[in-house]
Amino acid sequence: MLDIKEDVSLAEFSTFHVGGAAKFAVAVQTTDDLTEAIAFAAAKKISWRVLGGASNLLVNDDGYKGLIIWYRNKDLVIDAELGFIEVGAGAITAVVAGACARAGLTGFEWAAGVPGQ
Ligand SMILES: Cc1cc2nc3c(=O)[nH]c(=O)nc-3n(C[C@H](O)[C@H](O)[C@H](O)COP(=O)(O)OP(=O)(O)OC[C@H]3O[C@@H](n4cnc5c(N)ncnc54)[C@H](O)[C@@H]3O)c2cc1C
């Protein structure tokens, strides 16, 4: 069962701490939960938007009339031998950069200090 909250201040969750509230907001971990959240928005005939760390975003003072979805899947699979990385869309960029470096994979070091998911 999703824990969908109503009238959630987005300023509280964004890097720049500005803007109004979301009519609805929910954090999800799995694709099934994501599907359920989108179905909720469809049933209410409202728009939806996925957000991460809200570090690349300025929220309007009028807020958002739809459903904000925080996708929190932080799964991280690295196969250093194959040079393969599979990352959940909720993974923290800096954590992924650190994990790549520890596995001996180079090229993503620049992202270590970038905020966001
Ligand atoms: C101080 C500072 C320094 C920065 N430096 C850099 C830098 O050096 N290089 C750089 O590239 N960027 C930089 N950025 C920008 C920012 O950190 C990145 O763009 C980051 O990837 C944003 O991630 P977020 O999770 O905060 O995204 P959000 O701000 O939450 O979202 C940004 C956009 O992506 C969409 N989105 C977010 N998550 C998902 C998801 N899981 N699925 C689908 N859509 C999604 C949102 O709907 C929105 O449109 C910087 C930002 C700050 C504040």
For 77, the enclosing helix (H) or strand (E) is strand 76-79
Q: Can you tell me the distance from the alpha carbon of 12 to that of 72, in angstroms, rounded to the nearest whole number?
A: 17
Domain boundaries of the chain, sorted by first residue = 5-71, 76-113
> Is this structure's pTM higher than 0.85?
yes
Q: Probe ligand 1: pick from 55, 73, 87, 96, max atoms within 8 Å of CB?
A: 55
CA angle 36, 37, 38 (to 5 degrees): 90
Q: Which two tokens stand for residue 54?
A: 């809200």
Q: Can you tell me the distance from the alpha carbon of 55 to that of 78, in angstroms, rounded to the nearest whole number?
A: 26
* CB-ligand 1 contact for 89 (6 Å cutoff): yes
* Fold assignment, 5-71: 3.30.43
Q: What confidence tens digit (pLDDT) does each residue in 36-69 have?
A: 999 999 999 999 999 988 899 999 999 999 999 9
